[in-house]
A and B are shown apart, each in its own frame.
Chain A
Amino acid sequence: MEDAARLLQLVINGAAGGCIYGVIALGFVLIYKASEMINFAQGDLMMLGGFVAFSLIAGMGLNYWVGAALAIAIMAVFGFLLDSVVLRRVIGQPQFAVIMLTLGLGFIFRAAAGISFGYGSVTFVTPFTNKVENFGDIAIGQDSLSIVFGTVVLCAVLYAFFSKTRIGIAMQAASQNQLAAYCMGIPVRTIFSLIWGISAAASAVAGILLAPSTVLDVNMGFLGFKAFAAAVLGGFGSIPGALVGGVVIGIVEQLAGYYLPAGFQDVTWNSMLLLVLIVRPQGLFAETQRKKV
């Protein structure tokens, strides 16, 4: 019984951590679906989002909810500007130029955060910090619950946005066929910048959700590489796939951390990633497509 409870505990904690990966992966997938760009700085956007929330809530003493909403809005504007000022210029360059560009941007974000917030780790008090709910044998922290709940809400909002609003449908159209969308009068470039804004906002949500359960530090952006694994696992063009992939990676990581010797956590998800890329490069959830010549 105790083993079963512990296993369940690990799975739930893993799923909560995995939701974070899933949300970051969602940011990748949104950008990739729209513009075929890969944003290697997505994890660093999450870090920036966390730090903006930190400076609003702990630094300026705002209410948690107001501060969080403001941080998400600031990051959305930042993402929009990032695309319209910087990324716009490399359209047409080979894909790895974009990869290197976003890697370089990640370095700059990290340094900027380090200069303005210091290289130590910081933390701020949230309504969920250090509170535990008991379900029979299992104790679940409110921080984990808030992560799962926040992810579900974010997905519902995004789903409603993409399927119900005019601009969301325009975004779907632009990512399906740019030229046709252009001909129908959709401002494709603005749409792409908006998608970057949404993606950065999603990363900020991830950073804020992560804040109660861990400390913020400048190098937390490297978490983004795990989100890559999540996105690849789900097939890089599928939003539900990214979330499921994130949860799978999170659970595997927790189990590996418990049952395997220390330090092999990274090996497990890396080998999973390689295995998926080798055996099923289109991901676990995407439909098979072949490119025509």
Chain B
Amino acid sequence: MLQQLKTTYTQDISLFANRNAVISYAVLILALLLVPAVLGEFYVGELGGVFIFAIAGVGLMLLTGYTGLVNLGQAAFLGIGAYTNAVLMTKGVPFIFTLPLAGLVSALFGVLLAIPTMRMTGFYLAIATLAFGSIIGTVFQKWTSVTGGFDGFAVPTPSIFGFPIEGTNGVYYLSLLVLIFVIWLAINILRSPVGRAMVAIRDSEISAQSMGINLSLYKTISFATSSGITGLAGALFAHYVRFLAPDSFDILLSIQFVTIIFVGGLGSLHGAIFGAMFVRLLPQFIAIVRDDLPFGIGRMPGLEPSLFGLVLVLVILFEPLGMHGRWLKIKAWLKDFPLHRRSGIRRQKTYARSERLR
């Protein structure tokens, strides 16, 4: 990728890369604030969904993209957050307490998952988290006294200091606020020693350990923050869908989350946002263009999952850095337009670490 010339050490840990970034993010936030005034309710609702998935994506990005630990059971944490929030609210706890509590309970479960899986890496971890997600999913379905079983669970309307957060617009603004907070939190974690330790663990556990990084501590922290953030997303998700069904937190949702970070681009927070946009907006896009496609392609059943699979495969084969990586390349191409050379982009070489004895 194109490198920026840094002249002071503070530049290395600054929140924004340069002044242009500050301006463009401010414009972006302003535009997002104005969206409900301009676009119809349908689009506002869809964008709200994108925000919620982006929050969960940022959570998973911290774990998988920055610490290098796969989690194929992330939907379980979304469910834990959603049910904690909804159940506490029916008990009469105000929303400003249930939202952080949902995050905390999820984080607690993240620690519970982290302790046994501490020494696992690679696919053993993937399988263990898969099993965890499946168990929690069954608990949601069977613990009918709390979750209502297959009858579902109507989520009460939240209110902050007496102002009810109603309708699509309320959830939209709330999710946007939480998303901005979560991104700010993630950036701060990543430029602190904790975040540097996470990246060190991702790049090589052995060298991280020999530099004095406590592997179990930082892996647990990573799991806890990741699942806590996903729990926040879950609490918002409960209000987004308004009616919780226990079978919505299944393996397919977990795979969607992993798709978010892979398609978006591993190891970048932008990637989580891009990926969430892709995962949430592709089905809507298909629904819109369905009737205009030739040869009746649009009416083929199973078009959506096959497109998901296809995009996932193509991204891994041809653009391992995902949408974010492609975006950076396009930016570099535009920047030195007529003189662009392929070798101007620094290529990252990755190696698989063998688990064998050699």
Contacts and interface: CB of A to CB of B under 8 A. Distances in A.
Interface of A: 36, 38, 86, 89-97, 99-101, 103-108, 110-112, 114-115, 119, 177, 218, 222, 225, 228-229, 232, 236, 263-264, 266-267, 270-271, 273-274, 277-278, 281, 289-293
B142 interface: yes
B131 interface: yes
B138 interface: yes
Given A36-B352, A92-B351, A263 B123 contact: no
B123 A95 contact: yes
A92 B350 contact: yes
Interface stretch (B37-45, B184-192, B302-310): B302-310
A107 B132 contact: no
B224 interface: no
A101 B127 contact: no
A273 B70 contact: no
Contacts of A281: 119-120, 124
Contacts, number: 148
Nearest to B132: A274
B309 A100 contact: no
A104 B308 contact: yes
A177 B262 CA distance: 31
A160 B60 CA distance: 46
Contact of B305 (A107, A232, A263, A289): A107
Interface stretch (B100-108, B165-173, B313-321, B323-331): B313-321
26 contacts: A93-B320, A94-B353, A95-B353, A96-B64, A100-B258, A100-B316, A104-B311, A105-B313, A107-B306, A108-B306, A110-B302, A110-B309, A111-B309, A114-B302, A115-B301, A218-B302, A228-B130, A236-B124, A263-B141, A263-B142, A270-B135, A273-B127, A273-B128, A277-B117, A281-B119, A290-B357
Contacts of A106: 309
Given A95-B123, A105-B313, A274-B132, A293 B206 contact: yes
A119 B301 contact: yes
Contacts of B292: none
Contact of A101 (B64, B132, B312): B312
Interface of B, secondary structure class, is helix
A104 B130 CA distance: 16
A103 B312 contact: yes
B343 interface: no
A192 to B, nearest CB: 14
Contacts of B70: 96, 99
Nearest to B131: A270
A225 B64 CA distance: 21
Interface residues of B, number: 51
A104 B352 contact: no
B316 A289 contact: no
B138 A263 contact: yes
Interface string B178-210: 000000000000000000000000000010000
A32 to B, nearest CB: 8
A274 B116 contact: yes
B123 A38 contact: yes
A274 B124 CA distance: 10
B352 A94 contact: yes
Contact of B120 (A110, A111, A277): A277
B358 interface: yes
A93 B352 contact: yes
Nearest to B349: A92
A94 B350 contact: yes
Contact of B354 (A36, A89, A119, A278): A36
Contact of B316 (A93, A266, A270, A290): A93
Contacts of A267: 134-135, 138
B289 interface: no
A270 B128 CA distance: 9
Of listed B303, B320, B352, residue having the most chain A CB within 10 A: B352
Contacts of A271: 131, 135
Of listed B119, B123, B255, B358, residue having the most chain A CB within 10 A: B123
Nearest 4 CB-CB pairings of A with B: A107-B309, A111-B306, A104-B312, A270-B131
Given A94-B350, A277-B116, 18 more contacts: A86-B313, A86-B317, A103-B258, A107-B308, A110-B306, A110-B309, A111-B303, A111-B305, A119-B301, A119-B302, A264-B142, A267-B135, A273-B127, A273-B128, A274-B116, A281-B119, A281-B124, A291-B357
